[in-house]
Amino acid sequence: MEKVELEALLQSLSVPEKVHQLVQLNGNFFSVKEEIATGPSAKIGMDSSVVHQVGSILNTFGAKNLKELQKRYMEQHEHHIPMLFMADIINGYRTVFPISLALGCSFDEALVKRTAQIAAQEASVSGIHVTFSPMVDVVRDARWGRVMESYGEDTYLNCLFAKAMVEGYQQEEHNVFACVKHFAGYGAPLGGREYNTVELGERSLREHYLPSYKAAVDAGCHLVMTSFNTIDGIPATANRWLLDDVLRKEWGFQGTVISDHSAVKELIPHGVAKDEKEAAKLAFTAGCDIDMMTSIYANHIEELLAEGSISMAQLDDACRRVLALKNELGLFENPYRFADEAKEKQVQLCKEYRDFACEVVTKTCVLLQNNNQVLPLAKDKNIALVGPYAQERGLYGMWSFTTDPNTVVTLEEGFLSIAKDAHIYTAQGASFLDRAEDIPFFGKVDATLTTDNREQLCQEAIEAATKSDVIICALGEHAQQSGEGGARASLTISDGQMYLLKEMRKLGKPVIVLLFSGRPLQVDEIEANCDALLQCWFPGIEGGNGIAKLIYGEANPSGRLVMSFPYRVGQCPIFYNHLNTGRPALTSTHSQRFTSRYIDTPNGPQHCFGYGLSYSEFIYENITLDHATMKKDEKLHVLVDVTNVSDTAGIETVQLYLRDVCASIARPVKELKGVQKVNLAPHEKKTVTFTIREDMLRFVNRDMKYVSEPGEFIIYIGKNSEDTLSTNFTLV
Ligand code: GLC
């Protein structure tokens, strides 16, 4: 529709009709059974006549279903404005990939972009227009359940993946529009506790947390979702500085801002709105266009307009953005867009997509321990595959409710499909949880999560192990111990699972642990009781196949951690790009007691950012610089030789870090500024070159300006954030 026509449509709408475009409900309200529709609308206090006018719905799926819904909706709508269909498609739609925290471990934006392209293809033919993705909240605290949705602790990587995901979703012919979230700083809740307060100064917020959202905006995402949390005492959903000064005026964002689920109403318990009417006023005037899943805009915007608290121009601006979004999607010309039942059957879960999903698994699992090269396994070894994940189909994490569990390849199935000449003896061995009440479950959950016959289960595993050459323990958190509402104050696996592992260890056979989780866990006791540990995250529908390929060496592990693994939960938040402090434990002149340290735990993580083992062995030599000084308009080149000294071809993730030794603001001890994935044949050496530019040296100064300052810089290059070669240069 031409702009002039769109404006005419806007001006033809009544005030209630304009407000209806700013309301989003979920699909339950549109069930064909009237009594269900009435139930939810009564529950959130919305007149059922409004329900059928709302501008968008979320999390309703299927080409047939959405075409039928759209048809009914438009027929009864006075102006026949099409409805928007939005959904949480975070790590795949039907071909479900590893969770985002795993995808980040690929350090490969092209790979991650491809996952978004496939998700867009599959979701668009099922009638979805917008995905509430990418989630690019920088995270530093493994206690928070939603670290599983993020791309880790590093700002540079989150920016890379924000761009890759937005482009992946939006560039294809069968695309969906991206909605970056959660704006802003949701990943830094105090104590790692879900929905908790975020205390960040503006400078730190701008330096570490805002860049990834801006990368998504610069990549052209069409929507931004406000976060639940307060920032320095002001909820993001009512934060005019954030939503207007920064997002619109500084960044030039012209798309639509949508609240998170019922976040407008939560302004009341936050204590900034005395009632729903004030909540509506605060959110709307701050710049939140769409109210997700409350009746507050529907019930109060018209009244605010009438009393002059908001202007018709403001209402028109918000409504215009939503109509423009529908217009950019082409919905006025074709309200059914790409919804196509035949295409659903043709593209979803096709072999190409599944094969790629399997490749992604092999590139996102992280090998944390491999004593005496116990891995890869020979295919003729008889295996005892024990643990709650041995035959589990729930390998796809919390944000994958469009997954059909029957499309998941379990570990047992994956191993059986590769190890044709060996026996795979499977036993559950232990339950997921020690106590059922451990988790407030979301949706239907399998009842066998706990057990009262630990000994019996373990005995079955011992019998399986007795017949085997190698023991593989498939252990971990249950999928609902992470994700939204999945904050934990501990990072351990259940006592029952640790008991199983120790009983397996006593049998004197090689023990390999496959660890499934949505977060870094405390793994020291696990590693002390096994020979090899592979961090599998939640690997998605091809988990069984991808992990089996890694265990048997058909793929060589290349994943590297994007989030530090603490020794103890008490170290959280823990992250590699920390400040040095005035009393650094290793170099302070103060006595050991009076330095920045714990007396009962190392300062550093058990496994650091960027860490991961391979079946190959890479060594780094000869770091050199082409100049020792650099002017702001010049570039430097740093070179390093990387050699694969093993007999196995592999991919090395060469990491470039920089440190600004002294500046007007204390600077991190190192920051990731570049990554190169290098394929190396056995005994092959390559010289890897990074270019250093002045913009890589910038930071947010006390005036909130993004600047570099002259002085000494250290360059670190290596296989992770701790094992590096270094050299220096001076910016003049
Ligand atoms: C949830 C999440 C958000 C999601 C939204 C819609 O509460 O915070 O990430 O997109 O609601 O499901």
Read off the pLDDT of residues 369-402 as tens digits, 9 standing for 90 and up: 999 999 999 999 999 999 999 999 999 998 888 9
Q: What is the mean pLDDT of residues 410-427?
A: 96
Read off the pLDDT of residues 217-243 as tens digits, 9 standing for 90 and up: 999 999 999 999 999 999 999 999 999
Read off the pLDDT of residues 280-294 as tens digits, 9 standing for 90 and up: 999 999 999 999 999
Which residue type occupies 243? L
Return the DSSP state at 572.
Answer: -
- Is 421's pLDDT higher than 90? no
> Angle 340-345-350 (CA atoms, 0-180°, nearest 5)?
125
- Residue 37 pLDDT grade (very low, low, confident, very high; cuts 50, 70, 90): very low
**pLDDT score recorded for residue 437:** 65
Distance CA(639)–CA(678), nearest Å, equals 14
Q: Residues 6 or more apart from 67 whose CB is under 8 A from it?
A: 127, 336, 339
260 is catalytic: yes
| Residue 241 CB-half CA count within 13 A | 11
Read off the pLDDT of residues 81-113 as tens digits, 9 standing for 90 and up: 999 999 999 999 999 999 999 999 999 999 999
**pLDDT score recorded for residue 514:** 99
In the reported structure, the alpha carbon of residue 224 is separated from the centroid of ligand 1 by a whole-number distance in angstroms of 12
Share of the chain above pLDDT 70, in %: 97
Distance CA(213)–CA(138), nearest Å, equals 10
Structure token pair of residue 17 = 């009709």
Structure token pair of residue 518 = 């949505």
Contact at 8 Å (CB) between 101 and 149? yes
Distance CA(390)–CA(460), nearest Å, equals 13
Contact at 8 Å (CB) between 647 and 670? no
**pLDDT score recorded for residue 36:** 44
- Is 436's pLDDT higher than 80? no
Distance of CA 682 to the CA centre of its chain: 34
Read off the pLDDT of residues 113-134 as tens digits, 9 standing for 90 and up: 999 999 999 999 999 999 999 9
Contact at 8 Å (CB) between 295 and 277? no
> Angle 655-656-658 (CA atoms, 0-180°, nearest 5)?
145
Read off the pLDDT of residues 456-484 as tens digits, 9 standing for 90 and up: 999 999 999 999 999 999 999 999 999 99
Q: CA 274 → CA 243, 393, 612, distances in Å?
A: 21, 46, 51
Q: What is the mean pLDDT of residues 422-443?
A: 85
Higher-pLDDT residue of 178 and 47 is 178
Atom of ligand 1 nearest to the CA of 181: 9
**pLDDT score recorded for residue 40:** 65
CB atoms within 10 A of CB 619: 13
Buried b (16+ CB within 10 A) or exposed e, 377-409: bebebbbbbbbbbbbbbbbbbbbbebbeeebbb
At 234, which helix (H) or strand (E)?
strand 234-235
Pocket test for ligand 1, best of 57, 442, 482, 484 (most atoms within 8 A of CB): 484
In the reported structure, the alpha carbon of residue 21 is separated from the centroid of ligand 1 by a whole-number distance in angstroms of 19
Q: Which residue blocks in 62-108 are alpha helix, DSSP H?
A: 63-76, 100-104
Read off the pLDDT of residues 312-365 as tens digits, 9 standing for 90 and up: 999 999 999 999 999 999 999 999 999 999 999 999 999 999 999 999 999 999
Closest CA to 537 of 719, 665, 397, 700: 397
Return the DSSP state at 180.
Answer: E
Q: CA 501 → CA 375, 494, 543, distances in Å?
A: 18, 11, 22
Which residues are near ligand 1 (CB < 6 Å)?
A: 58-59, 88, 132, 181, 260-261, 484
Distance CA(415)–CA(418), nearest Å, equals 5
Q: Residues 6 or more apart from 42 whose CB is under 8 A from it?
A: 48
| Mean residue pLDDT across the chain | 95
Q: What is the mean pLDDT of residues 517-527?
A: 98
Kindly report the protein residue whose alpha carbon is nearest to atom 8 of ligand 1. Answer: 260
Q: Residues 6 or more apart from 557 whose CB is under 8 A from it?
A: 362, 365, 366, 367, 534, 550, 612, 613, 614, 615
- Is 507's pLDDT higher than 60? yes
One-letter-per-residue 3-state SS of 277-332:
HHHHHHHHHHCCCEEECCCHHHHHHHHHHHCCCCCHHHHHHHHHHHHHHHHHCCCC
In the reported structure, the alpha carbon of residue 103 is separated from the centroid of ligand 1 by a whole-number distance in angstroms of 20
Q: What is the mean pLDDT of residues 428-433?
A: 94
Helix 155-170 to helix 109-124 angle (10° resolution) is: 40
At 621, which helix (H) or strand (E)?
strand 618-625
- The DSSP bridge partners found for residue 711 are 731
Closest CA to 362 of 605, 620, 722, 615: 615
Read off the pLDDT of residues 621-645 as tens digits, 9 standing for 90 and up: 999 999 999 999 999 999 999 999 9
**pLDDT score recorded for residue 39:** 59
Return the DSSP state at 208.
Answer: I
Q: What is the pTM of this model?
A: 0.97
> Angle 707-709-710 (CA atoms, 0-180°, nearest 5)?
150
| DSSP letters spanning 346-393 | HHTT-HHHHHHHHHHHHHH-EEEEEGGG--SPPTT--EEEESTTSS--
Distance CA(730)–CA(714), nearest Å, equals 9
In the reported structure, the alpha carbon of residue 693 is separated from the centroid of ligand 1 by a whole-number distance in angstroms of 38
Share of the chain above pLDDT 90, in %: 91
Strands 699-700 and 706-707, sheet pairing: antiparallel
Atom of ligand 1 nearest to the CA of 261: 11
- Is 711's pLDDT higher than 60? yes
In the reported structure, the alpha carbon of residue 181 is separated from the centroid of ligand 1 by a whole-number distance in angstroms of 9
CB atoms within 10 A of CB 714: 16
**Which residue out of 88, 108, 260, 531 is catalytically annotated?**
260
Closest CA to 145 of 195, 182, 219: 195
- Is 615's pLDDT higher than 80? yes
**pLDDT score recorded for residue 173:** 85
Kindly report the protein residue whose alpha carbon is nearest to atom 11 of ligand 1. Answer: 261
Closest CA to 511 of 554, 563, 474: 474
